[in-house]
Amino acid sequence: MKLTAIRTLTEFTCRICGEAIKFDPADSQTFMTKTEHEDFFGMKLMTFRVSHDVENERHTNSVVVDHMGLFRGHRDAFSEPLDKIDPSIDRIYWVLHEDTPAIESTSNIKLAILINRTERWVVDVVCPKSVNASEIATLALDRVEEAWRVYNTIPQPMETRIADMGLHVWTSDSRVLCVSFRNGSLVKAVDALAPHIISETEDSIIPRRRMLKLIFQILEKNPDLTPSMLSRIMNEDMLHTTFHTPFEDRIPSIVERTATRHPIAEDILGPLLRGYITLIEVLEGKAASSYKEVFELVDFINRRKILG
What pLDDT does 248 receive?
81
Which pLDDT does position 40 carry in this prediction? 73
Residue that finishes a domain, picked among 81, 103, 119:
81
Spacing of C-alpha 252 from chain mean position: 32
50 and 100, same domain (yes or no): no
* Same-domain status, 70 and 139: no
Question: Nearest-CA neighbor of 291 among 244, 237, 224, 238?
Answer: 224
Tell which of 28, 55, 81 closes a domain: 81
Give average pLDDT by consecutive 10-residue segment, the chain, 308 residues: 59 90 92 82 83 88 87 82 57 67 86 87 89 91 90 90 93 92 93 87 58 89 86 80 79 91 92 88 87 90 70
Whether residue 89 is contained in a domain is answered as: no
Residue 135, in any domain of the structure: yes
Domain C-terminal end among 27, 50, 81: 81
The whole domain housing 61 covers: 10-81
Q: Give CA–CA dist 262/232, Å, rounded.
A: 20
Do 98 and 72 fall within a single domain?
A: no
Tell me if 69 sits within 8 A of 10, measured CB to CB: yes
Residues 117 and 215 in one domain: yes
Measured between alpha carbons, how far is 148 from 154 in angstroms, rounded to an integer?
A: 6
CATH code of the domain covering residue 151:
3.30.450.30
Instruction: Give the pLDDT score at 91.
Output: 54
Tens digit of pLDDT for each residue in 130-165? Answer: 999 889 999 999 999 899 888 888 889 999 999 989
Residues 110 and 75 in one domain: no
Supply the pLDDT for residue 203: 42
Residues 300 and 278 in one domain: yes
Distance between CA atoms of residues 200 and 174, nearest Å: 8
